[in-house]
Amino acid sequence: MPGTRRTLESLVTRIAARLMPADAASHVEVVRLVLRDLVEQLGVDTCFLRYNDHEIGATILVAEWPPRENVPDPDPIGVVYFRDADPVFAAVEHLKEPLLAGTGRAPYPVVESPDYSERVFAASGWEEISMVAVPLVSGQVTTGVLGFVNEGGRPWTEDEVNALTLIAVLLAQVQARVRAEEDLRRAAYEDALTGLASRRALFEYLDKRLEPGAEGPVGLLFLDLDRLKALNDFLGHDAADSYLCRIADRLAKGSRPDDLVARLGGDEFVVVLDGPSSMEEAMERAEVYQDAVGASVALGNRTVGRGVSVGVALGTPGEVSSASLLSRADQAMMVAKRQGGNGVGVFTEDMNEKGKRRTIIEMNLRSSIDDEHLTLEYQPEIDLRTGTILGVEALVRWNRSPLGVLQPGEFVEVAEATNLAGELGEWVVTRACAQLAEWKREIPDLRIIMSVNVSPVQLVSMDFDSTVRSVLHHHGLVGSELCLEITENVVVGDLQRTKDTLRRLERLGVWVAIDDFGTGYSSLGHLKALPVDTLKIDKGFVQNLEHSEEDRVIVDSIVGLASSFGLQVVAEGVETVGAVKQLLDLGCTRAQGFLLSRPTTPDRLRWMLQAGSVRLPWNTDTWAATRSVKGRPPH
C-alpha cells in the first residue's frame, strides 16, 4: 500500500543500511532483498533493477522481485537494445527524471506505449499495467533504472517518487563501487593487454595444482618470444603490442579447454597443462606451440615472424612450489635461448643453481639479522604539488651476505618460509624507529611518518602490537609517526586475526597502508571492516600511466575508492613526468619513485629532510619556494 512520508523515510534508511556492505560478490543478492522490501512496503506487483550498458547500447535486467515462475526463452525483457526498443525502454538510455508508463497518476510525465505493453505482456502475461521508472545517474550518464510494475492502474504520490529517487541514488553508488571493484579484480586476474590469465591468477592456480595429494605430475611450459625488442624498435610499441595480442590468441586457441594460459609480462607466456603430464607429452605440446607462434603475422602492410624459446618442466604435487616449478621452466627456456633460440629446453637437476642459492640464503639468514649484516635505505614520499617530503619508507638490504648484496625480494620470502619473518620484521621496525628518532634530534621541527613493510607472519603473531608499542616507547615516538604497510594478501588471508591486530595498532595511533594495491583482491567489505588509512597504488599501474588508458582507468578507480572510504592514496613507481601529470589530473598528489628520489642512505636523506623538499623536475620554481618547508605528516 502507498507509504506515508514517515514510513517512506524509514524505508530509505533501512535500504541504505542493507546496501552498505554490498560488494561485487554479494550485490545482486542484496539488491533482490531490497526489491523485496520495496514490493512489500509499496504494495506493488513487481519491482526490478536494470543496468545500462552503453558500449553495446542496451538495458540489462539485473534483478527482479518476485522472480517470474515462467520466464520465456529468450526473455523479451532480459536484454533490450535501445535501437530496437519501444518508447519506454528507449527512454531509459538517457532518462534523468522519473517516468510513468501505462495507466496511473503521478506528478511526472506519462508515456503511453502499446509496444511497451505488448513486451511486458509477452514477459508476464499482464494485459494492463502501470509502471514508474526512476533513473540511476552517475555524473551526466544514466547507468540504469529502478522500476515498479503494477497490474492495472496505481497512483504514485510525489512523496513516494521522491523516496524512490533517493533509493536510486543509493543503488547508483553501489553500482559504481561494484564496477570499481570488478575493474580491480579484472586487473589482478586478467592481463590488461592480451586478456590471458595474469601472473597472480597463474600462481593461485599453480598453488592448487601443486597441493599435496593433488593429481600429477604437473606440466608447465615457459615461452619467451625471440628478438621481440628488435620488432618493437623497428615498428614501434603499438605494432609490438598487436603482435603480442595475436600470439596470445594463437596460444589460447591452441590450448585444451582446461589448460591455463597466462602472460607473465613483456614477451613471456606460461602454459600449465591440464591433468597429469609426462615429459613426452609436454615436449609434444611445446613443439605444437612453437609451430603456432612461429607462423608469420600480418601487421598492416608488413608480415613479421618471430621464433619462440620454450622451457619444459614437470612438478610433483607436494614436492615443489609454484615459484620453484616456474623457475625450473624458466631455466630450461634459457638453455634453449642460449642455444640460438626457437627451440625447446627441458629442465634437469644440474640447472638448479637457483635452488642452491636459496639454500645458502636459508643457512645464513638466521645469523645475519643484525646491524652488522643488514642495513636500511629510505625512499621519501613526496607531495607532487610542492615537492614537500611527507614521509619515508624503510627498505631493508642484506649487504654482507655470502652472495654479496641482496635485495629484499631474495631473502624476505625465505625468512617467511623459515619462521624468521618475525625476527627480521622486528629488526626493521626497531632500526627504522631508531633512525627517525635520530633525525628528530638533529632536526627538531621534523614532522614526517616512517613507513615499514610488515609480513603476513608478523601481522598475525600474538604479540606484534606489543612489540610495536615497546619500540615506540623506547625511542620516544608516538604511534602517529609510524605507518605499517601490509599487502592485500594479508587482508584476505586471516581476516579476523588481521582485524584484531590492526584494531590494537589503531589504539596506539599507528597508521596502516595497503601496499601494492590493485594486484591482489581485497573486497570493499574488507576495506570498510579494517582500520586502513592509505592505499598505495602498485607501480605496475603507474609506470605506463601516460600511455595506457586501461591503467588510467584502474588508477582512477583506486583514487575513487580511496575517496569514497575517506582514505589517502599514494602512487608507487613514479618514473616519468608524464605519469606525474596523469596522477595530478586524477587527484593523486602523493607519490614515490625514482623520478623523485631513489632509495638512499640515512646520511643522504638527512640532507633532504633538512631542506624539507625535493626538486620537482617539472616545476623548477617550486624548489626555491619550498626550501624552507620542513615537511608535514601525510595524514
Task: Write the pLDDT tens digit of every residue in 325-349.
Answer: 998 898 899 888 878 788 899 998 7
Q: Tell me the residue range of the domain where 232 lies.
A: 199-351
Confidence of residue 456 (pLDDT cuts 50, 70, 90): confident
Q: What does the pLDDT look like over 150-194, one tens digit per residue?
A: 877 777 888 888 999 999 999 999 999 888 888 887 777 888 889
Q: Which long-range contacts (CB under 8 A, 24 or more apart) does 235-243 make?
A: 235/299, 235/302, 235/304, 237/547, 239/299, 239/300, 241/193, 242/299, 243/297, 243/299, 243/304, 243/306
Split at pLDDT 50, 70, 90, the class of 233 is: low
Distance CA 172, CA 103 (A): 27
**Which helix or strand (DSSP H or E) is residue 336 part of?**
helix 322-338
pLDDT of residue 489: 60
419 and 346: one domain?
no
Domain boundary among 170, 189, 208: 189
Cα angle, residue 451 at apex, residues 449 and 454 outer, rounded to 5°: 150
Considering the domain architecture, whether residues 513 and 381 belong to the same structural domain is answered as yes
Judge if 347 and 368 occupy the same domain.
Answer: no
Q: What is the pLDDT of residue 622?
A: 45
Give yes or no: residues 216 and 306 share one domain.
Answer: yes
Residue at 634 is within a domain: no
Q: Answer whether residue 371 is part of any domain.
A: yes
**Do the domain assignments include residue 632?**
no
Confidence of residue 224 (pLDDT cuts 50, 70, 90): very high
Q: Tell me if residue 368 falls in helix, strand or coil.
A: helix
Mark residue 138 as left, alpha or beta (left: phi above 0; alpha: psi -120 to 50; beta: remaining).
beta
A 10 A CB-CB count for 382 gives: 26
- On whether residue 414 sits in a domain, the answer given is yes
Domain identity same for 456 and 538: yes
- d(C-alpha 605, C-alpha 556), whole Å: 31
Tally of CB atoms within 10 A around 21: 14
Q: Are residues 436 and 574 in the same domain?
A: yes
Is the distance from CB of 123 to CB of 77 less than 8 angstroms? yes
| Confidence at residue 623, expressed as pLDDT on a 0 to 100 scale | 38
Please state the domain count of the chain.
3
Are 148 and 236 members of one domain? Answer: no
**Distance, CA of 25 to CA of 76 (rounded, Å):** 27
- Are 223 and 339 part of one and the same domain? yes
Q: Pick from 351, 384, 416: which residue ends a domain?
A: 351
- How far the first Cα of the chain sits from its last, in Å, is 50
Q: Average of pLDDT values for 15-44?
A: 90
pLDDT tens digits along 122-147: 554 555 667 889 999 998 999 999 99
Quick: pLDDT tens for 557-587.
889 888 888 899 999 999 999 999 999 999 9
CATH number, residue 430: 3.20.20.450
Domain boundary among 138, 161, 189: 189
Residue 163 sits in the same domain as residue 208:
no
Whether residue 440 sits in one domain with residue 461 = yes
The verdict on 181 and 236 lying in the same domain is no
509 domain-assigned: yes
Residues facing 375 on adjacent strands: 397
Same domain (yes/no): 396, 533:
yes
The pLDDT value recorded for residue 410 is 75
Does 407 score more than 70 pLDDT?
yes
* Percent above pLDDT 90 for the chain: 46
Q: Looking at the domain assignment, is residue 120 inside a domain?
A: yes
Say if 635 falls within a structural domain: no
User: Are residues 397 and 374 in contact, defined by beta-carbon separation less than 8 angstroms?
Assistant: yes
- Please report the pLDDT score of residue 402 as a whole number: 76
Residue 3 — very low, low, confident or very high, per pLDDT cuts 50/70/90? low
Q: How far apart are alpha carbons 123 and 129 in whole angstroms?
A: 12
pTM higher than 0.75 for the full model?
no
| Residue 67 belongs to a domain | yes
Distance (Å, rounded) from C-alpha 631 to C-alpha 613?
A: 7
Query: Which CATH number belongs to the domain containing residue 346 in this structure?
Result: 3.30.70.270
CA gap 247, 299 in Å, rounded:
12
Whether 510 contacts 482, CB under 8 Å: yes
CATH of the domain at 139: 3.30.450.40
Determine the pLDDT at residue 94.
92
